[in-house]
Chains A and B, each alone.
Chain A
Amino acid sequence: MALLSLQNVSKSYKEGASTVQALKQATLEVEAGELVAIIGPSGSGKSTLLSIAGALLQMSEGTVEINGMNIVHLSAKQLASFRLKELGFILQTSNLVPYLNVLDQLLLVKKMGGKVTKDDKEFAKQLLTELGLSDKFKKMPNELSGGERQRVAIARAFMNNSKVILADEPTASLDSKRALEVVKLLAKEAKERNKAAIMVTHDERMLQFCDHVYRMEDGVLTQQS
């Protein structure tokens, strides 16, 4: 069964008198251990799709099931704790908290849910080590390179052991060499940890690491491979 499943999802934004149909009957399923890429021109609706999959935005029509749970009827408060438990987000740059060191960035996620245990600390260190940050535990975000920061963001997304990972242009602010590294790590972690991961990207070279590629055009989603 797919960990993430969007069925016939539509979204329209009301802007004054006119409505913008940002998403038209999009259907998408992601299995455990898969990394799926969504590409498409600017304004085509990629972020909208990801926001809906990430329980950040209400859809107009359709259903979203994450890890077997229909999220349509959850309240804002329930959605926050749902995101915390079931979803990992990797956002664009500067999405680390500026006053926390690398290790605390990960532990913050645990703090949000309650207490930080010794095991959590060990797990955080393990994740960071896998992502090649073993000597950067105590560094502040402003002491890291862009690529290192994105790797911390990836580690943070995996911290809660949630089943679904969502990444919106995680490599937008990186040069292509670092971008490749980061995506490679993302694919590796998703595979090893059996997560369902979606990545929005502009960069066609990243697609080599992805199991499936979808193209978004004017709110219409089509599978390419």
Chain B
Amino acid sequence: MFLALKELKYAKFRYVMMTTIIILIAWLVFILSGLGNGLATLSAATLKNIDAEYVVYEETAGATFAKSILSENLQDDLEKQKNVDKVAAFGASTIAVGKTKSKDADSKEDVALLGVEPDAFFMPEVIEGEKLSYDNKKGVVINDTLKEAGYKIGDILLVANSDMKLEVVGYVKGETYNHLPAIFTVLENWRDYQYAAPGSDNDTDKAVQAFFLKAPNLEDPSTIDKAVKDVETVTKKTAINGMPGYKEENGTIMMMLAFCIVISAFIIAVFFYVITMQKTQQFGVMKAIGASNGFIGKAIVAQVAILSVLGIVIGIVFTYLTAKILPEGMPFDLEPTLIITYAIVLLIIALLSSIVSVRQIVKIDPLTALGRVE
């Protein structure tokens, strides 16, 4: 610590440059993870928001909503199962809505039409306007980002390629599904759209796509599959991974992050290595007068730790400043836990990379100090 601090003070410029590099790397990692996380949230915010542990699909659907058709009549059966607290049915379709019958794509919005029971346990809070109710079957509550597109309470929405009309009754916040803003409607109404073609519901009575289970005490979901005919129960995480494109998208983002982190490890290691190599003669002298490898190694690790912590903290500050000036629509989402995780990962990587330098110290022969005029 003694050597580390004294040297940082003495060779300010060199170490300011070094810290700058760490700041830039940390900044890059945080921005990237924030954007990646934002993107992932966007693709399945509604599912992530739902406070449920399990999702029940049709047995043959492979845990994807679009392929699954179940009868809402199963609800009673599911509710009777042991350790299941609450059950709610769900259905999702992608539709385009507009306020006029225009063919112009610009005047329409792609949205996710989500069918739910108005009293479903996971129904998000309506932040403005009225809740869903069977009194107004055509009523929808829409994600508040649609406000910016000009949709207000009371507006009538025309569904493209259908003669269906919807009426905006309220807003919810932060609800997106497959990257699309979500609009919630009662199941019956959703069913009218989704299964408009005769026979498309495989003649299922009151067809839905899936049920969400609130069952914190349920250990083994396969007990449900045994008790109820023709269903498959999976965890919510599996359900989210089953969203079209979700896994691939997340994989891409994680890949980018991983590369970013691995490359930063190399950059940091190389810079510290070069700095250490420049001090070979100096360390040789110290070893000659009796410094152990540990003494010098500790100084180097301390230096790396100080610079890394400093760089990472400033990087975090920069990240939040950047997040502030990012445009509204940019999906940026970075929770403190994620920041701390990546900060620790970066710090560990920096410290590991300093091992390369410390190994070099061990190799320095104290003899280099003797009999040399530099």
Query: Are A and B associated in one complex?
Result: yes
A83 proximal to B (CB < 8 A): yes
Please report the C-alpha to C-alpha distance between residue A97 and residue B4 in the assembled complex, in whole angstroms. Answer: 12
Please report the C-alpha to C-alpha distance between residue A47 and residue B288 in the assembled complex, in whole angstroms. Answer: 14
A108 with B3: CB separation less than 8 A: yes
Cβ of B305 to closest chain A Cβ, rounded Å: 18
Q: Which residues of B come within 8 Å of A, CB atoms?
A: 2-3, 6-7, 9-11, 281-282, 285-293, 295, 366-367, 369-374
B289 with A109: CB separation less than 8 A: yes
Docked complex: A12-60 residues within 8 A CB-CB of B: 46-47, 50-51, 54, 56-57
- Residues of chain A contacted by B285 (CB below 8 angstroms): 91, 95, 97
Total contacts A to B, CB within 8 angstroms?
93
- Residues of chain A contacted by B374 (CB below 8 angstroms): 92-94
Question: Given A88-B289, A91-B285, list of 13 further CB < 8 A pairs?
Answer: A77-B293, A80-B366, A83-B289, A89-B370, A92-B371, A93-B374, A99-B9, A100-B3, A100-B6, A112-B286, A113-B290, A156-B289, A200-B371
B9 with A112: CB separation less than 8 A: no
A193 proximal to B (CB < 8 A): no
- Residues of chain A contacted by B366 (CB below 8 angstroms): 56, 80, 83
A68 proximal to B (CB < 8 A): no
Binds B, one of A118-126, A131-139, A165-173, A217-225: A165-173
A99-B6, A99-B7, A99-B10 are contacts. A91–B288 as well, Cβ < 8 Å?
yes
Chain B's closest residue to A93 (CB) is: B373
A89 with B373: CB separation less than 8 A: no
The answer, among A99, A140, A168, A173, for a CB contact under 8 Å with B371, is A168
A97-B286, A99-B10 are contacts. A89–B295 as well, Cβ < 8 Å?
no
Number of interface residues of A (CB under 8 A): 41
- Residues of chain B contacted by A81 (CB below 8 angstroms): 290, 292
A89 with B287: CB separation less than 8 A: no
B370 with A56: CB separation less than 8 A: yes
A112 with B295: CB separation less than 8 A: yes
